[in-house]
A and B are shown apart, each in its own frame.
Chain A
Amino acid sequence: MGEQDRIRRIVIVGGGTAGWMTAAALSTVLREDLCTIELIESDAIGIVGVGEATIPAIHDFNRKIGLDEQDFMRNTGATFKLGIEFVDWANIGDAYMHPFGRYGFDLNGVAFHHYWLHSQQLGSKIPYAEYCVPPVAAKRGRFALPLSDPGSVLSTYSYAFHFDASLYAAYLRRHSETRGVVRTEGRIVDVSLREGVSGNKDFVASVTLENHQVISGDLFIDCSGFRALLIGKALGVPYRDWQQWLPCDRAVAAPSANPEVLDPYTRATARSAGWQWRIPLQHRTGNGHVYCSNYLSDDEASAMLLANLECEALAEPRVLQFVAGRRENCWSGNCIAIGLSGGFLEPLESTSIFLIQAAIMKLIEHFPDSTFNAANTRIFNESINRMFEQIRDFIIFHYKATNRDDSAFWNYCRTMPVPETLDYRMRAFRERGHVVFSRRELFIETNWVAVFLGQGLVPDALDPRVACLPDGKITNVLDQIRQTVGLAVETLPGHAAFVDAYCAAAPEPATASEMLS
Chain B
Amino acid sequence: MNRPGSANGIRHIVIAGSGAEAAAAAAALAVSLRNSGVRISLVGPVDGQSRVAAERVCGGGQAFHRRLGIDEEELIRETAASYSLGTKFTGFGTASETVLVPRGAHGRNIRLVPFHHYWCKLRAAGSREEYNEYSLSASVVGSGDFTPPKGNTDPVVETLAYDIVVDPDLYAIYLRNFAAKLGVEIVNDSVSGSIGGPGGIIECLQLVGGGRQDGDFFVDCTSDRQLICVLDGSDDVDDWSGWFHCDRMISVLTRKQPKPDLCAHVIAAECGWLRRLTLQNFTVESLAFREEEFDDSDARTSLEKNLKHPPVGKPELTALRARSWRRPWLGNCVALGPAAVCLEPTLISCLQLALNATLRLLGMLPAARDNRMLATEFNRICAEEHAGARDYTMLHHALRDQPGGGLPGETLRRSLPETLSRRIELFQACGRLIVGEHEAFTEAEWASSMLNLGLLPANWNPLADMADQDRVAQSLKSFRDSVRQRSESR
Contacts and interface: CB of A to CB of B under 8 A. Distances in A.
Contacts of B32: 108-109, 465, 468
B99 to A, nearest CB: 24
Contacts of A459: 1
A424 B376 CA distance: 10
The interface centre, meaning the residue of B10, B33, B373 with most chain A CB atoms within 10 A of its CB, is B373
Contacts of B425: 375
A364 B434 contact: no
A463 interface: yes
Interface in B1-59: 1-5, 9-10, 32-38
A233 interface: no
A278 interface: no
Contact of B2 (A34, A365, A460): A460
B466 A432 contact: no
A128 B228 CA distance: 40
A461 interface: yes
Nearest to B37: A467
Given A368-B462, A464-B367, A466-B4, A427 B373 contact: yes
Contacts of B67: 109
A464 B459 contact: no
B407 interface: no
A491 interface: no
B271 interface: no
Contact of A431 (B374, B422, B432): B374
Contacts of A461: 1-2, 4, 9, 367-368, 371
A476 interface: no
A469 B35 contact: yes
A139 interface: no
B237 interface: no
Interface string A453-465: 0000011111111
A427 B2 CA distance: 16
A354 B412 CA distance: 38
Contact of A465 (B33, B124, B459): B33
B426 interface: yes
A5 to B, nearest CB: 7
A371 B459 contact: yes
A434 interface: yes
Contacts of B34: 468
Nearest to B13: A464
A434 B377 contact: yes
Given A367-B461, A367-B463, A375 B38 contact: no
B2 to A, nearest CB: 4
A296 interface: no
A469 to B, nearest CB: 7
Given A463-B4, A464-B366, A468-B36, A5 B373 contact: no
Contacts of B162: none
A117 B124 contact: no
Interface in A12-36: 29-31, 34-35
Contacts of A434: 364, 373-374, 377
Interface stretch (A309-317, A338-346, A436-444): A436-444
B358 to A, nearest CB: 13
B112 A29 contact: yes
Interface residues of A, number: 50
Interface string B82-125: 00000000000000000000000000000111000000010010
A375 B3 CA distance: 50
Contacts of A369: 430, 459, 462
B1 A117 contact: yes
A117 B2 CA distance: 11
A467 B374 contact: no
Contacts of A121: 1, 3
Interface in A358-398: 361, 364-369, 371, 373, 375-376, 379
A123 to B, nearest CB: 12
Given A373-B459, A459-B1, A6 B465 contact: yes
A7 interface: yes
B4 A439 contact: no
Nearest to A436: B377
A174 interface: no
Given A1-B124, A379-B432, A432-B374, A463 B461 contact: no
B312 interface: no
A7 B4 contact: no
Contacts of B112: 29, 64, 361, 364-365
Contacts of A7: 462
The interface centre, meaning the residue of B376, B463, B466 with most chain A CB atoms within 10 A of its CB, is B466
A428 interface: yes
B4 A431 contact: no
Contact of B365 (A29, A31, A465): A465
B432 A464 contact: no
A74 B441 CA distance: 45
A118 interface: yes
B5 A467 contact: yes
Contact of A376 (B121, B366, B429): B429
B364 to A, nearest CB: 6
A431 B364 CA distance: 11
Interface in A399-453: 424, 427-428, 431-432, 434, 436, 438-440
The interface centre, meaning the residue of A121, A424, A459, A467 with most chain B CB atoms within 10 A of its CB, is A467
A114 B4 CA distance: 10
A4 to B, nearest CB: 12
A134 to B, nearest CB: 26
23 contacts: A1-B458, A5-B459, A6-B465, A29-B467, A369-B430, A376-B429, A424-B376, A427-B373, A432-B368, A432-B373, A432-B374, A436-B377, A459-B1, A462-B1, A462-B4, A462-B367, A463-B365, A464-B4, A464-B36, A464-B367, A465-B32, A467-B35, A467-B37
Interface of B: 1-5, 9-10, 32-38, 67, 111-113, 121, 124, 362-368, 371-374, 376-377, 422, 425-426, 429-430, 432, 434, 437, 458-463, 465-468
Top 7 A-B pairs, shortest CB-CB distance? A461-B367, A467-B5, A467-B36, A467-B4, A466-B4, A428-B373, A461-B2
Given A117-B1, A375-B429, 20 more contacts: A29-B466, A31-B466, A64-B112, A109-B363, A121-B3, A365-B112, A368-B462, A375-B432, A379-B434, A428-B377, A432-B366, A432-B367, A432-B368, A460-B1, A464-B4, A464-B10, A464-B366, A465-B4, A468-B35, A469-B35
